Structures are given as C-alpha cells and as structure tokens.
Structure 1
Amino acid sequence: MDDIFASAKSILVVWAPDVNPENLPMFQEKIQTKAKQARIAFENVEMLSESQRLSSSFDLILFGLVSKRDTQITIDILNELFRLLGPMGYLISHVEHTKQSQTIDLFKMCGFSSCNPLDANSSFLIENKDDNVKKLGSLWLCQKPSFDIGYSVPLRSTTDTRMGQTSSSTAGEKKTWTMEDDDLIDTDELLDENDRKKPDVKKYDCGTTSTGVRKACKNCTCGLAQELEQEEHTTAKETVKSSCGSCYLGDAFRCAGCPSRGLPPFKPGERVTVPNMSDPLVCTVIPDSYGKRVMCYYTNWSGYRPSDGRFSIQDIDPSLCTHIIYSFASVRGNDLGTTEGSDPENYKQILALKEKNPDLKVMLAVGGWNHGSGPFTQMVATEKSRQEFVENSYNFLKKYGFDGLDLDWEYPADRGSPYDDRHRFTQLVEQLSEKYKPEGLLLSAATPASPSRYDGSYEPEICKHLDFINMMTYDYTGQWERTAGHNSPLTSQKETVQHMLKKQDCTPDKLNLGMGAYGRTHQLADPSANGIGSPTVGSGAMAGAYTGESGFMSYYEVCQKLKEGWTKEWSNQHQVPYAYSGSNWVGYDDTESIALKVRCLCVVFSCDLSSVLLGHS
C-alpha cells in the first residue's frame, strides 16, 4: 500500500457535497505524508464530467473517502474515473459489505482488471467516516490494465477459442469452424408457462395522466422512468444553487453552483470585497526606480483576420511598448521553428520597429496553448537534448536579431507532460540563462495565474534564472464554466501576485501582470439574471465578428457592442466592467480597470496588441 502512494506522481481526490470543508485540507496533508512527490488535485463528484481533465492524467484516484457516508458510485462515474487513470493506475474506494458483489462486478464491467480488499494499514484513509459506516464496509483497491483505451492486440489465429488449445492441424491446412446440431438451442425451451401468458395491459400505467403529467409505473421497463430521471437531473443542474458549504476554501473545494467561484479563499462568514486601495496588503506597487515596462504580445495569426479586424505589424505604434514579443515559434526537435509561412518576413518587419524606437526590445515567444507539451517533453528529456536546444535557439535568435526568448510551455508536469518535466524545465532555464546572459539576451517565461497550477508546474528556483515572469493573469473563467465569471477580476489577480511575491527570487521587478485586452463571453441561462455569478448554459457563447471564436471577444469588438446598445455595468467587488444584451454576456477590461490594476498591483504589464489596437476604435 505504501509503495502505491510513494510511486504516485499525480493523485486525484474525488469528494462529495456532504463533506465537511475543514476536512479537505487535513486530508490533503495526510495523503501528502504518504505521497511526498505527488501532485494532489481535488474534484467535486458533481463536477467530475464537466472538469474536462485529460485522459490518463492520474496514477491514483481516491473516491469518496473524505465524507462520513459512502458516496454512491455509478457506471458513468466509474467510466470517467477509468478514463482519468493512466495504465496500471489504481482506484481506492470504500465498498459496503451488502453491495460488495455487485459493486465489484461494476468495477470490472467498466474495465478494471483486478479488485482486492485492502488491509487494516489503510484505515487512515477513512478516519473521517462514521464508525457504523466503517463497520459495514471495507476499502477496495482496483487497478486499470496496462493498456489504455484504444489499444489493440492481434488475435492468435492458431488457437481454438472454445477449447483454449492450439489446433493440431498442419500449418498449410485451412480449417472451417462449423456449428453442429448439438450446439443449437431451442429457444422455445427457454420459455416457461408465465412467459407464455398474455400481459394484462390495464395494470400498467406508464404514459401521461389525465392532468397531462408524464408518469412511469412502479416497475417501469419501457424506459420512461430513466427518461424522466434524466430530465429531472438536467433541470436540477440548470437551477444552479450552492450547497457545498465550502465556499471559503477556494475554487478547488467549491461545487458547480457555488456563487463564490472565481473569488479567492476567505474566512468563514467574511464578505469578500476589494478594500481601500491604500491598504498595503492589497496594493503591491513597484518602486519608481524599477522603471516602467510594457510587454506587448503580437500574435502572428492576427494578420489573417477579415476586413477591419486585420492587424498587421505596420499597425503597431512602437512608442507604446518597451518590449514586443512575437508569438509564436515552435519547438522543432531540439531547435526553434516557424509556425506561419510569413514569419521570416514578419521577423524583419517587427525588428525594423526599433528604428522608430531605439530603446525597444523585441523578443520571440515559443509554445502557446495550442502547441502542446509533447515537443517540449522530448526536448528537455536529456542533458544533451537540452544543450542542443540552448545552442540552436541562441543561433536562431542571433540570425534574425531578436533580443531574447519567452518560454510559453503550457505547462510542465501538466496537460500530458510527465511530473519529471517540472525539474527538467528548471534545468532548461538554468542552461539557457548561462548561455544567454553573457551575450545580453533576455529570458522570460509565461506562467499560469492559478497558484496551485503554478506550484505544480514550476520549482521555486526558476525565478533566479529568469529576467521576467509574465503572469497570465486572465482567463480565470470562461464559457466552460456554468456561471458568468469575469475573465480577469482584480481580486483573483491580487491573489496571484501575492502568491508569486512569496517565491524565492520572484522580486517585484521581475513580475509582469498580464492584461487580457479582450473579454470572455457567456450565454446566460436566464437573461433576467445578468450579474457576475449568474447561471449560464456552459457553451454556445457569442463570438466576435472579426476574431470568430466562441466565448471570446476582443476589446474593439466589445466597444462595438457597447455602441450598439449593450448595457454596461461595473462590479465594485471585482473592480472590473461587464456588459450584456439579452442572453449574451461579456466580462472584459477597459482603460479604467486596467489603470486601477496597474496602480494597485504593479506598474509593469503585458497585453495582446492585436486585441486592443484597431484603427477605428
């Protein structure tokens, strides 16, 4: 048992809404003592299917162990747990003795190859359960096979599958399998007298009552009962309501309908607000001696947008930025590669902006969300492959005249990247720094806003080797949520900044606050409920006319909607604007909210040029 925890690199704890919220952090500490190297994630069972985690992401899943009572497990839940487990991964669950046989059969039917009871040494996992529950059940360990979904193996053509023996026929002889009369079954013999009786349809009352209400009979077998149950479940999900009682712990411990999703953790009973901006705990102002730094990202696909939405390098005012980061290059083997055919020409044009602003620094970003982890994982695998990338990337930057490299790996030890990549990324950054700094090249990294995601992907010492940390303090929520959350609320950004300032060598002069010069759109479930936290349908959100991506709207597209009559509101709690019209909703930043963030959190920031600068806006 101890070996399973010691070897696990990623663990998922699935908890139910009846859990005492105070037990979750204590349970995490308890597991961490057994699995010192593991990254532990929590997921509410109600949000399991909506979390959209990657397949084969976990080595061990602990299901329903934190609550006092056993959590009901269904085929849908088991199928999702099986998908999340990697090959040879383990599932631990508490099974009631009276349901043991059918539950274990359910495990095996969903694909688990072996299920065995655990000994008394595992009792620490169910310390939170009621004593009666402990007595009436036991812990079981089930393992996923060594293959994953979609794997295939060839059939042995020389084996008789009925007898399990190798055919005695010669190699060149062809055998034809035939069915003898003795193998046939007379289906009439399977029916008894009760089966032959004609059913009395009068005693079945499935259908619609005289009052127009659909109703299933007590022993319904026609499928109506399941249909009505599904409709009831769907209605319950659409009527979003918080009952988890763990709102104050943070998003990892909140249920799907929690009105506090997107807010930082707070003390029970405390109302989360933005205090006076002179409060030193809220405002983290960088001294003037550090100077102003404005990092501007230029995305190479923005030149392909239609009509007035097209944004080319010629549209950039180089006096607005201290640094421009061209996005994106790719990792190609152990070298850098272009992602668009126009990149080499674009390199020349964007570097030519330095003629208008001699102090301008132009960097190249590699990676991005759509790039994936695979090429990075392969490149950082060995000392030799990393050193080859260091030399090749240096030559690439020097060839075109870039001033540095921005590492945008999203993310080490996450999204399919193995846990060892966390340390290998540190080694890569250290090797790049040793090569770049003597040559005057800059080195930065784009990092996630979520404190837990940052800690899971990066070791504390990376700040030491980087010139800048570009915090992606946006996309805190989006249409993938079931509530209308803001893209970049000041409250969440404050939490990110404070978390980063506690890191070794992450001094204020190295931190760049990300400003998403765009909005995240939602489709409201009820147009009359249009504030932050209102229920949404979770998909189908409006796309911008030029950007053309569902759930996304650039700032100039938001401005156009305001001109068309959308209602604009201001959130005093999050210090950001949002707008709506009918069932369409968008949370975004404007000049007022960005000025407030710069004044309150820091005086250096980064933004996407192509989402904010447009000739007619």
Structure 2
Amino acid sequence: MSLNSFTAGDKVLFVAPATVDQAAFIQVKNSVQEQVGSNGQTAFEVFERVSEAPLIKSSYNLIYSNLFSPSVSIHTPSMFSHYLTTLAAGGRLILEEVVLLVDLANTICPITRKSTDLESMLKLAGFVDVTVTNVAPVSDETLASYFRLWGTTKIEQGVSRLTGKFGIAHIEAKKPAYEVGQKMKLNFKKKPSNKKAVWASVSTDDIEDDDLLLDESDRVKPSKESLARPDDCELTEGKRKACKNCTCGRAEEEEAEANGVVSLDLMDDIQDEIVEVDPTPKKAGCGSCTLGDAFRCSTCPYLGMPAFTAGEKVALGGMFAQDDIEF
C-alpha cells in the first residue's frame, strides 16, 4: 500500500478482515493520520460487517478495501453499493482481491472470479472509471497462507496443484461527480414563438380539401330500408319459412325453436331506446330461516345458529350448557 497518496483534509476509511495484523494496521493508520492532518479523518471497519455497518452517507473521499495481506475475503455486490453510498461525490475506491488467472478444472475452490468479473460488478454498482491497474501472481508462500486461512490441512498438496493459478487484482474506481438521488431544477419554459409566422410559411395550396374527396353518392344518407337485411325466404301460411338453400340464418333459428331453444336476434327492429335492467336479485319472502344460514337474509335474528324445526326450543349443549360463574 502506498502511504504517500494522501493530502490534508482527506477522509479515509480502511476496510480489512478481522484476521488483519493489528500492529501493521496501527502503523498504517498513524502514518495516514499525520498526512491528512487535524481536518482529515481515518477510520477502520471490519470487512465481514461493512454491509451492515452504520456508515454515514458521503462521509469519506477514499476507501481502501482488503489491502492488508494475506486475505481471502471476497467482495459482494451489497458491499459495493454500501461503498458507493459512503463515498462523497467524486470519491475513490481502491481494493484488492484474490482472483483466478486461469480456469480451474475438476477443482472446488472458494475463489471463482477473475478480475474482469470484479470490474463488471463495480460498474453495475454505479462506479465509473473502473481500472484494473495490476494483477500480480501470488507466491507459493502466500498461497500457503491462503490455505491456512481456509482451514485446509493438505497445504503442500494444494500449493503444488494450484501454484501460478491465483493472482491479486488491484482495482481502482470512482464514484460519479454527483450524489445518488441528487436533484436538479430543469427549466421547461419555452420561448414565445410567432404562431402567425409559422402558419404563414405553409402554403394554402398544399392543404387538401376533404370535401373534394367525396362524390355525390357519398353525401346521400342511407335509409332504414337500405340498412335492413334482405328477406327472400318463402312466405307460407302468413309466416316466413327458410328456403331449401337458406343462407340468412332462418334455418338455424327454426331448428333452435324446434329444440326448445329461444334465440334473440338483436339486429331485428332496431329501436333508439335504452332498456335498463336491474341486476340485483329479488329477495324471496322470509319463512325459511329454520333451514340454516344459507336460507337466511343478512338481518335474520337466527343468523349464525344451526338449522332447527319450527316451534322447537333451541338448547345449547356441551360446555355452553354450564354456567361460567360458580356460587
């Protein structure tokens, strides 16, 4: 970690796992505090608790995450969102994380991401100018320390198999130069325009007269007779009967009537009137209260009681037949 990149007044947050070397952290914190001065600030937060930490919005302009080695801690999308909220507008995030340098085959490992995956996560969280400045392969000694942190006992076997396949990605990103949720006043006032001048630029010769598109037959209003359905069925005993090759639908109507089905042709005898129908069902008279709630109205005094025979005295049984007050 470079300790010469701080200026007076900087507010710096260090995020590291609980396994960090306390002596090394205190040394870094004291050195940074001297550089930022009395107007600056240095703070520390445990990596595993940062997502739920009560960090103040826009309170830091620099966040250093997971830069104390060795560490196998993995950043999450919720952490990146929390970092974005905690940073001030234009603030920077500097982080490190163990990543894969090559795809692993037939190996179950806690490290599954590459540096490009971290870059995409930061961009989706809202960071800009995301840059992977370095991906350094880890030494076998550092790799062995990772296995110790994972609690693996077969350290030598794991190092021999995964040597040269892990690296430490150093990534820097910035928060946009505006706050999340920041409001800006927009001026929607339009300059007054000369409407007459606009319409004057349109030639009247270019406007088509709609009436010129109609001929005399289009202006004739249809009569009721012309709108009526043609009726060419045979007249038998004063009543129209469907002909042999009926196509007007009368044959279907006669068949329905023969089967006891009544059809209504709403197109016959159209009248300019509105027929109002009351959809509320008519209530039957009282007198079926003894049959149960299904036959009782909403104001029935027997509502909620079981069915009974008319004239029968209703008695409560079981625990309801006993007094709840003893003398």
Shared fold, TM over 0.5: no
**Which of these two proteins has the greater Rg computed from alpha carbons?**
2
The TM-score with structure 2 as length reference comes to 0.40
Higher helix share: 1
